Amino acid sequence: MARSISTPERMNTAIYTTILTGLGIITTLVVTMHNLAETNQQETNRRIDEMRQDTSRRIDDLKKDLRELLDAKFKVVGSQFEVVGVRFQKLEGEVAEVRQEVQDLKKVIFEPAA
């Protein structure tokens, strides 16, 4: 004999079905939110890596520019020292000529009267 389901049992079945459906929806939402959070974290990590790489490239470019600038400055300073050295040698030559002239004048001025 087939047993008929009473109204309270039908209500319990409906309530259980509703609860299970609700739990399923909540579980789906939690899993979806978890996956979305994971995706966001991965995207954030990717962006951080890109920014880190970009920052490293910029730092390397700045170092290169600074090296080139310093090299150029040292070349200018080196050239200036060469110019000063040439001028100093010329001045030493002129001083030597003046000394010689002074020696020659001393000989003439202080030469004993003969």
State the Cα–Cα distance between residues 54 and 65, nearest whole angstrom.
16
**Secondary structure (3-state) at 110:** coil
Encoded tokens for 80? 């200036």
Amino acid at 109: I
**Cα of 62 vs its chain's centroid, Å:** 7
Q: What pLDDT score was predicted for residue 107?
A: 85
**Cα of 18 vs its chain's centroid, Å:** 58
User: pLDDT in tens for each of the 114 residues of the chain?
Assistant: 556 666 777 778 889 999 999 999 999 999 999 999 999 999 999 999 999 999 999 999 999 999 999 999 999 988 998 989 899 999 999 999 999 999 988 888 887 665
Q: Are 13 and 5 in contact (CB under 8 A)?
A: yes
